[in-house]
Amino acid sequence: MELRILGACPLDCPDTCSWEVTVRDGQAVGLRGNRDHPYTRGALCVKVNRYLEHTRAHDRILHPMRRVGPKGSGEFERISWDEALTIVSDRLTEIVREHGGEAIWPYQGTGTLGYVQGSEGEAGRRSWNVLGASRHHLNICSTAGNDGLRLTNGTPGGMDPETFALSRLILLWGTNTLTSGHHLWKFIQDARANGAHVVAIDPIRTRTADQADTFLPIRPGTDAALALGLLNVVLEEGAEDTAYLEEHTLGWEEFKAEILQYPPARVAEITGLAEEDIRALGVRLAHTRPTGIRATMGLQRHEGGGAALRIIACIPGVTGDWRHPGGGVAYSTTAHVPLKVDSGDHLLREPVRTLTMTRLAGQLDESVKCLWVYGANPLGSTPDQNRIRAAMRREDLFTVVMEQFPTDTVDYADIVLPATMQTEHMDLHQGYGHMYLMWNEPAVEPAGECLSTTETFRRLARHMGLTEPSLYDSDLEIAEGLLSGTPGITLDRLRKEGWARLDVADPFVPFTDGFPTPSGRLEFASDRAAAAGLPRVAGYVPSRTARTAGADREYPLMMITPASHTSLNTTFGNNPELLRRSKGPRVLVNAADAEPRGLVDGEPARVFNRNGQFTAYVEISDRVRPGVVAAPKGHWPKLSPGGANPNATVDERDADMGRGAVYHDNLVDIARL
């Protein structure tokens, strides 16, 4: 008997594909993108095409385990679920009694974005609130940009990416669409067929930049200056939309004064771009309606990341593009999704502290007695890798990891709990790069003794004797609650059809009824920003590397860590075929920087700074400009030469807003091995 089961990709990608699993005799034998879904259109990515193979991998964790060797050794013995939950329950009870609930750090990541099983719905939060555990600030991905967009627009929500098909000028700003969200490209192709011009703005000549009509190799961390320079040209051309500015914006005269400080000649010095290229794009921007800007998360991972998105969001306020289908900025569509997440905050008996995801190295101190990791691999993905490793060696730290594979983080666990994969549990998803909700129906039974996140927490609650009724809600009950505020979309409908478009106009034009700011207008100047200690008027905040590059003679190279084409963060970092295709850890170096260092193409080199070092194979390439190097993220340290990846060199430091991460704000040097 053969069945077709509709589901959705759970991974940290804007496309959140709708997929179909073919099941024969209880086994998943086929996986493809859903041809009926308007965004997925039948295609998955090179990574997810191997998902079924991944669920059957030889190194998958299938049973609970207890550590028997030193922390970091990865030596475990198999135990039963009852043994595991007894050990965990006893330790948590002891920790809460002796140190208080705040001594527990529930460290959740974006390994799945599901609203039932994953980070979007804060799975497990109810249990942590009952225990009084510390809050976890999941800031690793997009918080700086979110906050910057809120200051301008009142929300990170913007364009429906499908409306890029209607754009006449498309700016792909700090985003490698063909690697990190390739389904958007079909809509860009539709726009091109109607004469649209595509511009890639990126420190690297990516796959996407290769396909663009214009490529601007910007210096990392200087995007806000470029945005101001482009608007300077718009003013020179007299192309600002005066009616839109008058009717829909606040603080224009103040912001205009800021723009006038950034003529193209000055911006060329800051960004490393040619003045004539800045001017040419500014003229094109001035006279092309609608202009759509795609800016994603890599753009804001530096010290001025929030300011960069704040100013980029101002561009369609000046040009009036927010009034047009196909005009505006697309960053994340999550804010348009009216799901009701009930994480049980009312269950907290008293306020608790918040611990920050990217501050794990510094905040994993003696006050933390239990680190509970799920949907995350901090030893592969979090800044200041060496200090994290040292902190996780503490013998008094009780570490529980819920995982599918033996990551570097698993090697430091005291108890490992086997987790289901997407084909084995139910979940509710929305794409942060489109306007659809999707249901994931389990296609097969869980492998081995794996349990879903929700079932693990239900069993833990029983073992601990917790009596709060909501801790025992079924997955379907959780999903019903999430959908209770979603017009026209019921759980029954989603389970039958697999997906549904949000109840919004098509084409969707945001802010037609005003902006969700205090003034109801797009705010070039913000009292909220001033109250938070930020500049009242949107302006350029350079990254640290942009400020100091060239002055730091010991570490003169600006390093960024872009997404790999063959892994998603560290997911798939152990897949043999995708590892083979990645050709191992690499660092792209311009010939002008390689020659004086004696670097040889294809040979290993040491990339280092004050924080640490990692080993990568040199790729001498003009894809990066002189002074800039790029080391793709996603490699597991334990599977890399030298036992480290680029995060060994990344500072534990905050962006200007949201305590965002600064992965692309890093100075290093490189030496031959």
Reported as a single tens digit per residue, the pLDDT across 203-259 is: 999 999 999 999 999 999 999 999 999 999 999 999 999 999 999 999 999 999 999
- pLDDT tens digits for range 604-643: 999 999 999 999 999 999 999 999 999 999 999 999 999 9
Structure tokens at 528: 């909220």
Specify the 3-state DSSP secondary structure of 167: coil
Amino acid 250 reads: L
DSSP string, 475-524: HHHHHHHHGGG-TT--HHHHHHHSEEE-SS-SS--TTTT--SSTTSSEES
Q: Which residues contact 568 (CB under 8 A, 6 or more apart)?
A: 11, 12, 13, 47, 634
How far is the C-alpha of 287 from the C-alpha of 169, rounded, in Å? 10
CA 64, 65, 66, 70 dihedral sign is: negative
pTM: 0.97
Burial class (CB in 10 A: 0-12, 13-18, 19+), 480: middle
Compute the distance between CA of residue 85 and CA of residue 128 in angstroms, rounded to an integer: 16
Residue 419: which of 455, 460, 369 has the closest Cα? Answer: 455
For 423-464, the pLDDT digits (tens) are: 999 999 999 999 999 999 999 999 999 999 999 999 999 999
> Could you give the angle at the alpha carbon of 309 between the alpha carbons of 244 and 267, nearest 5°?
90
Smallest CA-to-CA distance from 136 within 356, 370, 348, 344 is with: 356
- Mean pLDDT to the nearest integer, 90-102: 98
CA–CA distance, 419 with 404 (Å, rounded to integer): 5
With beta carbons less than 8 A apart as the criterion, state whether 181 and 188 touch: no
What is the C-alpha to C-alpha distance for residues 526 and 535, in angstroms, rounded to an integer? Answer: 8
| pLDDT at res. 485 | 86
DSSP 129-162: HHHTPPEEE--SSSHHHHHHHHHHHSSS----GG
